[in-house]
Structure formats: C-alpha cells, structure tokens
Structure 1
C-alpha cells in the first residue's frame, strides 16, 4: 500500500526508465490479489452454508469478473500519471533553498559527471552518489520541477539525444543508447513528451542548413554563351 501511494519514485531500486511500468505492474498485482481474495472468501462461505453447491458457479463467474477487472485496472494504470506534489509551505524560504541546493547537486551529477547517461541509474544509486536521502531528492524534484525523478532524469537524456541528432550523423538508435535509454518504446515516448515530435521529425526540423549563404550557383555554359552574344 505504501509503495502504491508513493508512486514511481517510491520504487527507488527500480531502474528509472522502468519505474512507471514497475509501478503500474504493482497496482495491477495488488488489485488482482484483492479480487482473488474476495472470491476465495465466497467459495469458503458457500462450503460452510451450502456444502459447496454453488462453488463451480462462483469459480467460473469469479474468473470472468477477475479477468474483466484486471483489464480495467491495467487500462486505468496505463493512463494514470503521477500528480506532482506542491510545496508544503510556499513561504518557507529555507525549505525552498534546501530543495534548490539538492537539485543543484543532482544537476551537477547529471551534467558534469554525465550520470544521466547511465542506463542502469536508479533513485537509490543517485541518492548514494549525491549523499542525499532518496526521499529528499524525490521531494525536491516534485516541488521545484513539478515532475517525478524519472521524468526529470529523462529530460537530461532527451536534451543529450537532441544534441546528438542535431550535431552528428549518428543514427536515432545510436543516439538513444548514447543518451542513456535502453528501449525504443521508452525513448520515443519520452522524446514526444519533451519535444512533441518523433526523433526523426525533430532531427529533420532542427538540423543546421548545409547550404552556403551569400553565394550563387555557377553559370552554365549556355548562360555564358548567351551573355557573350549579348555583349557583342
């Protein structure tokens, strides 16, 4: 229950690019266990009161309802997005300053030490490198950046991927791996979240022009001959 309420950031040992999927799987598993327990109770009561006369019917209906419920729960979990937590006290300057200090330390690790490119990065590992408790990092990111830690890290990864796509001839897959992503589905989803474009479309719109400016194409032989005739 506590992990479910904490959201993806509560899974501090999960790899950051899989935190959302792991949290959704946790919710679905919890819901399935609750439904299964209810039908087990119904079967037990049927054996107590009716000597199991309705057990087969309960089992068949239970399986059907459980499958429908699991499908509904999975759909809700897939559509769910964690709501960013606001600051407990917006007037508390000291608390905000501490959050800013934590975020500055995290930014230094992600940019200067290129920790964002580590595809196996977890919140727990990030906390150890920063020397800051994982819960404090999660709270600072939620309050100041208005997003969870996974999204915050992926923003840096997408920025690096954009730089590679713009400044090099590296393939999209190579840029994905170099920036810290491991799966195309997660990379494409996060790329669209940040840029509203696919990687290929973004590259097409943002590659610098290679055509020289202030120059004209050379004249053809026919053009030169025509001008020569006119001057004569």
Structure 2
C-alpha cells in the first residue's frame, strides 16, 4: 500500500490550519496566515524535491526558504506595535530573498552561506526581542503574553538550530554524496515546519482582531485618554495612575486588553508602564492585571451565587486554565475552594493587599 511522504502530510495539516485561521479572521490575510501559507508551500516543495525528485522544486525551494526567517521576524515584530505591519515594514526584509533568487539563476555555490547567515541573523534578532520578556509583545492580549512569548522563543530557537543544521548538511553534500544529510535535512525541515506553523497559529490568535484599529477607538471613547507627562513621572506615580484607571474604569474586565491599549488609555508609553510596574511590584504587567481580575473574582465569589465560569468571564479572564492558574497564584487556593471557605471577611476591589501601592 503506497504511503504519503511526511512533508506532504505536514503541508496538508498546515493548509487545514491556515483555512481555520483565515475563517476565524474573516479571511483577512495578515502576516501570520501568510507565514503559515509559506510554511505549507515549503513543506510541499520539500516533498517534491526530496521524495519525488522534481527538479523545478530545487530552484524554488531556496527562495521560499529565504522568505521564512524574514517573514517570521516581521510577523512577531508587529506584535510589539499598535498597528499591523505595512509594506514599508516588510520591503527591507526582502533583500535576502532577492539575493537568493539571483544566486539561484546565476551562481548557486554561495546560497548555503546566504541562507545560514539569514536564518542565524533573524533567529538572534528574535531572541533579542524575546529577552525583553512577554511585555515586549505589547499588542498581544495580556492574558496571552506568556503563550505568545513561548511561540516567539520556539521560532527563534528553530531558526538558529536550522542555520547550523543546514550548514552541517551542506558540508556533508560537499564531502560525500549527502545521503545522511538528505535524511537529516528532511527530518529537521518537517520538525521545523510543524513547530513553526503551530507557533505562528498561537501567536496569531493572541492578538485581538481589532487591535490594529483600536487607536482611534480608545481616544474617541475614553475620557481618560488625555496625555500624561510620563517623562517626568516616577514609577510610583505611574503605578498610581494605572491603579486609578483600573479601579475607576475596570479596564481589567476587557479580555482583549493589551499593553498598547493600556498605554493609550493612560497616555503613558507602553515600555514605561511595563518598567514602572515591574520595578514597583516585582511582577510583569500580565501578572499585575490578573491580580485585579482575581480580586474582582474573589469579591463576586463570596457576594454572589453566579457560576464560576460566569465570574471568570466577567472578571476579564478568557480561559478557565488561565483563571485557575492565576487565582491559585494569588490566593493559594482554587476558586471553588475559596467560595466554599467563605473567602475573606471583606474583599476590596483592585489590587490585592500584597500588591497594593497605597
């Protein structure tokens, strides 16, 4: 019974993921869906080249391979901004692609060196972004920052690892027939495409669908969108200002809240908010915001008979796993146990006592 080569299976799975992603995004072709589509195309080309020996795939595959690291960087880099990437953001990253396309037609020898430098360079660039922590992805839902950050690290590591695998395979082809290199390259390519495709899907879901249009909405409908002289503000003053917004406007109840949205509502740059909250509380923005949500949930658990799922959603949590994890971190017990024990004698809204700045 004939079997389907693994690269074709991976390509089919990525196409299904792409279809579902675009369906959920109302067929809006952003960078992450485009990245998944490129992964699928590269998996297909890998199968046509290594499994079927289709010669044209050997000409196209290096060009598509050069697109992947640049597209990975552009896609994840847009998660640091309050807008989607534009053509001007992407065009400079096409230089390695153009160079590889020229080398394919004129001089194939240096292609491996160019691809090695491209993958290693973009991998290190993404690791540099990852080093800034989850708060660097300021356009991602605060509840999903850690997940998106892990996806970023996974793609960055795979880019670096791939650069060295390709270099080893190139040496194997140069010294021998490349039989071992062919097997290693096939396995590594399939693994890379599967991990990167999954990571791209996770990161794409972490950004609110309307985040690119949120700027005008926040300023038009928020009375607190006045600009605050953040350059002269100390950490405690910034933390107090964020605390006031949280207590008075309950911004934490928005499940799509991002650091960029919080920055627009407060009139303070996202990086400055992140630094101030980290230095004031010793925790990142995601943890601080979730503490407001947990405090809200604590009050509802002991003062209402609402279902825990309802309380979870109305407090701003989007998933049950995140709610249970953060509730356990803050209180040391599960929501159901907290309710059955009667909770505290009084639950104040806003930050819990251990995180209070007042």
TM-score, normalised relative to structure 1:
0.72
CA distance in 2, matches of 1:63, 1:119: 36
CA distance in 1, matches of 2:240, 2:344: 32
CA distance in 2, matches of 1:116, 1:129: 12
Residue 56 of structure 1 and its aligned partner are, at CA, apart by 3.5
Deviations 1:17-69 (A, max 9, x none): 000111111111111222222211111111122132432453477579x78xx
Tell me the SS of whatever aligns to 1:12: coil
CA distance in 2, matches of 1:140, 1:150: 13
| Structure-1 residue corresponding to 2:147 | 21
Q: In the alignment, which of 151, 158, 173 is matched to residue 287 of structure 2?
A: 151
RMSD: 2.5
Tell me the SS of whatever aligns to 2:234: helix
Q: List aligned pairs for 1:162-173, cutoff 5 A.
A: 162-173=298-309
Residues 62, 117 of structure 1: alpha-carbon distance in 2 compared, 3 angstrom cutoff: closer
Q: In the alignment, which of 144, 155, 163 is matched to residue 37 of structure 1?
A: 163
| Structure 2 residue 240 is matched with structure 1 residue 104 | yes
Residues 208, 104 of structure 1: alpha-carbon distance in 2 compared, 3 angstrom cutoff: closer
Tell me the SS of whatever aligns to 1:112: helix
CA distance in 2, matches of 1:173, 1:99: 35
| Structure 2 residue 263 is matched with structure 1 residue 127 | yes
Residue 188 of structure 1 and its aligned partner are, at CA, apart by 0.4
Larger radius of gyration: 1
Tell whether the 8 Å contact from 1:167 to 1:207 is kept in structure 2 after alignment. no
| Structure-2 residue corresponding to 1:81 | none
| Structure-2 residue corresponding to 1:113 | 249
Tell me the SS of whatever aligns to 2:249: coil
The gaps in structure 1 that reach 5 residues or longer are: 75-94, 210-232
Q: List aligned pairs for 1:1-232, cutoff 5 A.
A: 1-59=127-185, 98-206=234-342
TM-score, normalised relative to structure 2:
0.48
CA distance in 2, matches of 1:21, 1:61: 26
The gaps in structure 2 that reach 5 residues or longer are: 1-126, 200-230, 346-358
Deviations 1:83-113 (A, max 9, x none): xxxxxxxxxxxx9971111011101111101
